[in-house]
Each structure stands twice: as structure tokens, then as C-alpha cells.
Structure 1
Amino acid sequence: MKKIVIATRRSKLALWQSEYIKAELQKHYPDLEVELQEFSTKADKILDVPLAKIGGKGLFTKELEIALANKEADIAVHSLKDVPVEFEEGFVLAALTKRFDPRDAFLSEKYANISELPQGAVIGTTSLRRRMELKLLRPDIELKDLRGNINTRIAKLKAGEYDAIILAATGVQKLQIEDEVKHFSPISIDDMIPSMGQATLGIETLDNQELVEMLSVLHDKDALIESTIERDFVRTLEGGCQVPIGVKATIIDENTIDVRAIVGMPDGSEYIQEDLVANIDDYETIGKTLAQTFIDQGAKELLARAESVAFK
């Protein structure tokens, strides 16, 4: 192929990610022409309703998939955490990039970290997972919905609508806007387990063998191992972004991987949490095995109740 068209959302972060993939492709294929084609998704347009109530994070990917199907673009660049665990027939996840910083981050104009927040402080986040984990850390805080792109969310923080907000650390770091707020502090995975695939980029395309082989230069083996475990965990639980699920696989060394997971109610009133250390060679079964231990403890019933609450 002499030219590749990348379907991308119009947000600054989405454009950064697509430009990053463009540059990586041209490192490997100097004569390749790479063009970005911008699209607006439903999730970008509806900003006054939590994602869980309008169809979930899959709304970030659907329009880009339509562009692929209509041959308006060859590949789509997604934040892997937004990519549903099941693909429609004819689409494939062709490559996963090296993982950036997977942690969530605390941003505030007044307070250095979560523990410094005063009683009853207002934190902005719409993520059901983050809501659950924040309530476990600080049951006294007030949670307030927060939608929009990163820059919009930070502007709302600076306008005084929130005492603090929680974002994915990687997005702030990629845009190099850490200094736009007085306090930017990534949160330890010990305190807040990220969502599956957070900080990894997934490259989606139609099931075209030539293109898939071409994109293989972008593939990162460690990201494949970690994301396989995380996505298998969510798939086995039959949970999507409408329910509070955190799962993070971390490669410790060439033989060992640590997997932390949590599911529960959005208000933190009930939860199940486990930490598993396993042999890395078993990565294709670890996520399913860990999910089964959650299912045995009633995780599916718990998530069903969490989903019913989320849609009220």
C-alpha cells in the first residue's frame, strides 16, 4: 500500500494519538503517505448525559467503524479502554501500541491529593468505576458528573465548579498540559485500579491480511499480554463500560504477571476485589480464570444491580 487514511475523532487527544500512529508508521515505511480524516462521534456531541445512559464508550468507536466499512478510511485509532470487547464481523484489532502511563490522575487548583480534600469536597467524574473507587477511598466526598474533552474538563475545574477532577493520566501527559493546573498527581494503582486497556492505543481495521501484516510493526508484545488478560476478564464477566469494573495486569518480570481487579456498586457500598500473581505463560487463560473467581462470589449479580442503578 502506498497510502493509509486514518479515521480519527476531532478532539485534541484523539488527533495527538492519530498523529503519533502516523509518525510511527512513517518511521517504518518512509515512502508511505498517511492522511488523517476527522469525524465527530455521537459521544462527542452529547455532553450533558453520562455515557452509560446513551450506549457506553462504544459510541466513541462506532462512527469510525462506519467510515472503515464505507472505505472512507483504512484504519481507526482508539483508546483501547473505549473499545468494546466484542468486534462486529469483518473488523479486527490489528495492533496494540506500547502502553503509556495507565494510572488515573488527581487534578486540583487547591489540594495536592485525595487525602487533602476537605470533608464533603466535590470531585468531578462520570466514570462509574472511578466513582466506586473514590467512594471507597473517601466516603464523605460529593461526586458530580463531568463530561467533555480534557481541555473542557480542566476549564470547568479552573472555573471553580469542582474541588478536584479525575482524568486518565496519559491524556494529560500526551497533551503536555500538566502545568495548566496547580496540582496534577497520578494515583497509585494500589488506590485506584484503572479500566481495561487504559493508556494503550488499539488500531482497528477491516479484516484485510495485507493491511494487518503491515500494521504489525506497531504491535507491542507486553501490551498484548496485559490487554488480553484485562479484556478477557471483562468479556467473561459480560461487563461493559456501563458497570464499575477496574482491572490492571502488570508484567513483573519475564515469568510473572500481577493482576488486580475490582467490581462493585457505583457508590462503593458493595464490591469484590482480588489480586492475583500468575505465570506469564498462562496469559491467555488468566483473565477468564480470575473472572470465574469473581463470578463464584456473585459478581454477575452485583454488576446487574450496579447497571440498574446507573441507568436511573
Structure 2
Amino acid sequence: MPNTPFLRIGTRGSALALWQAEHVRDLVCRVHGVGRDDIHIEIIRTTGDRITDRPLSEAGGKGLFTKEIEEALICGAVDIAVHSAKDMPTELPDGLELSAFLEREDVRDAYLSPVAERLVDLPRGAVVGSASLRRQAQIQRRRPDIKVINFRGNVGTRLDKLANGDVDATMLAFAGMKRLGIADQVTELLSEDEFLPALGQGCVCVESRIGDERTAGLMAGIDDEAARAELLTERAFLRMLDGSCRTPIAGLARFARGKISFRGLVLQHDGSAVVETELAGKAEDAEAIGTVAGEKVLQEAGEDFMAAVRAHG
């Protein structure tokens, strides 16, 4: 049928989500020689977009940003779903899989503030806004004397709140700021060694139906080897720790010359205690590396530590 799109992409409607969907469209067009008008982008509003009055950790966690898009994918209304990899639950709905991981952007966190040029220079009692429990815990680990409050909204909303003086500082993923063309607003880039990013940060992933061989073939053409190895490691670590928006977990895998090096940690919510591990191995063993790293953290942390983390969440 002449009016049938070559591919239908499901996405959230935020500026960053639309950038990601358009990026996937452009990659598919370039790799497979398709016109942009032949690939349709379908905007789907998710539960996470509707909830603005409380932390996502209280409302159900990561799946709130994917549920409606995945429902559209399962029923065949779209052919693929495009997500930020860090938003993806470790367990996907039956019949769905992650079929592509795109080349990864800068994974670092960006600190933004009109009050102090560096996070460490904020005055005592300053207020930092963040919706991420990982960021909240790591901020308080470095600066237990400042106050961290929940800070919801898309990138534009949070920047407006910062400009209006609702908080003294906030933090965003640098990758998203680069993609939106606002990297010049960053006050300080935090080293990944000192401030470990979210698992999956900086990576866009594609979800599709298991058994859809045509779509799988199209996605294989845009899949990035390094990003796939890194994300398989990180997601396995997250799965072992039962990671969600309710647990302050951070980690980063790096792929180089067929090998993976990984560092991951879990924190108490106030940053007062942390358990971390490092592990390396062959990239072909990516999931096993992440799993073993998770097991090591659980063993070292002990039941009391993890129970306290989960009870708080």
C-alpha cells in the first residue's frame, strides 16, 4: 500500500524525546536509503508525563515513562519505540526486546547554578533540586551540609525553576543538554570518576517486538557495538540490585579493544554510606560481568544495608 509508512516510531513528546526519535529516523534513512517522510513519528503521552506532583519513586518508578509506548508497540500501532536507556526497566514486557543501542554520548552529569561555579563551592544550607535519588545521594555524600529537594519536570521546566530562584542549583545529564543545544548553560561538568552517572546515561535505545525479523534487520544496521556491550553490563548490574527509581544506584561500563571495564555502586539515600565494586573482562561476557559485579556489591553490602536502602525508597 503506497500510504503505509516504511517505519513507525513511538516516542514521548518532550523536546529531548523527539530529538532522540528524529535521530533514530535519520540513522535509518542514512543506513537504509529511506526518505524521511516515509518514517512516521507517533507521539504518545505516558503516565510519567502526567505525574508532576510527586517523585516518580513514589508513583511506580521507571516504567512510568515507557508503559503506554510499549502498549502501542505490542498492539502493532508502532513498529519501534525509542527511549533513553536510563529510563528502561530491566524487565521488559513479554514479547519485547531492546534491538538497538545507539552510539553513546558524553555520560557525565552537568551542574547548573547562578550561585556558585562548582558544587563544592555552594554555601552551607544551599538548596539543590533533583528528581534523581542517585544524584541526591551523591550530592549529599559530597556536601552533607546542603539541602536536596525533589525537582520534577522536563529540561525546560527545570531550567525555568532554576532561573526563577526556586533552587540554588540543579543537575542534568550533559548528553541531553548537548542534544538540545544548550550545553553552554552548564556551570560545571562533574567527573565520572567522582560523580558516577546513572546506568545507561547518555545512550538512546530502541525497543521492538520479538520475532519481527524485518524490524530487527533494520535496527541491526544502526546498533553500536560499544554501546551494546556497555549497556548489557550496566543493565545486568542493575537487575541484580533490583534497581529502580527507588534505589540510589550508579555505574558505568567502558568498552575498549574487545574488553569491558565496569565500576558500580549503591548508596544510602543520604549519601552516608556506599558500597562499590570494579570488574573487568571480555566484552562477550558483558552480562556476566554486570551480574557478578552486582553479586559482589550485594555480598559486601549485606542484608541490613540493602534493607535500609529499599525501606527508605
Query: Which position in structure 2 is the counterpart of 1:12?
Result: 15
1:96 corresponds, among 77, 98, 101, to 101
Do the aligned partners of 1:195 and 1:245 also contact (CA within 8 Å) in 2? yes
Which consecutive unaligned segments of at least 5 residues does structure 2 have?
none
1:228 corresponds, among 232, 236, 242, to 232
Separation in 2, partners of 1:55, 1:21: 28
Separation in 1, partners of 2:22, 2:269: 35
1:61 corresponds, among 44, 63, 66, to 66
Query: Which position in structure 1 is the counterpart of 2:276?
Result: 273
Query: Which position in structure 1 is the counterpart of 2:125?
Result: 120
Please state if 1:136 is matched with 2:141: yes
1:202 corresponds, among 202, 205, 215, to 205
- Seen in structure 2, the aligned counterparts of structure 1 residues 222 and 270 have a Cα distance that, compared at 3 Å, is same
Query: Which position in structure 2 is the counterpart of 1:258?
Result: 261
Separation in 1, partners of 2:150, 2:243: 21
Q: Deviations over 1:139-161 (max 9, x none)?
A: 11100110000000000001011
Query: Which position in structure 1 is the counterpart of 2:180?
Result: 175
Tell me the C-alpha RMSD between the 2 structures: 1.6
Do the aligned partners of 1:56 and 1:241 also contact (CA within 8 Å) in 2? yes
Paired amino acid for 1:222 = A
Query: Which position in structure 2 is the counterpart of 1:217?
Result: 221
Query: Which position in structure 1 is the counterpart of 2:75?
Result: 70
Please state if 1:43 is matched with 2:73: no
Do the aligned partners of 2:28 and 2:218 also contact (CA within 8 Å) in 1? no
Separation in 2, partners of 1:6, 1:300: 43
Q: Deviations over 1:10-46 (max 9, x none)?
A: 1000001101111111001223510111111111111
In the alignment of these two chains, the number of paired residues is 307
Please state if 1:111 is matched with 2:116: yes
- Provide the secondary structure at the position in 2 that maps to 1:198: coil
- Provide the secondary structure at the position in 1 that maps to 2:76: coil
Please state if 1:83 is matched with 2:81: no
- Provide the secondary structure at the position in 2 that maps to 1:100: coil
Do the aligned partners of 2:133 and 2:269 also contact (CA within 8 Å) in 1? yes
How many angstroms does 1:256 deviate by?
Answer: 4.1
How many angstroms does 1:297 deviate by?
Answer: 1.3
Which consecutive unaligned segments of at least 5 residues does structure 1 have?
none
Do the aligned partners of 2:229 and 2:284 also contact (CA within 8 Å) in 1? no
Paired amino acid for 1:19 = E
Paired amino acid for 2:219 = L
Do the aligned partners of 1:272 and 1:299 also contact (CA within 8 Å) in 2? no
- Seen in structure 2, the aligned counterparts of structure 1 residues 280 and 211 have a Cα distance that, compared at 3 Å, is closer
Separation in 2, partners of 1:24, 1:43: 27
How many angstroms does 1:241 deviate by?
Answer: 2.3
- TM-score scaled by structure 2? 0.93
2:33 corresponds, among 26, 30, 34, to 30
Q: Deviations over 1:189-237 (max 9, x none)?
A: 1111111111111101111122111111110000111111111111122
Query: Which position in structure 2 is the counterpart of 1:245?
Result: 249
Separation in 1, partners of 2:39, 2:303: 44
Separation in 2, partners of 1:278, 1:119: 43
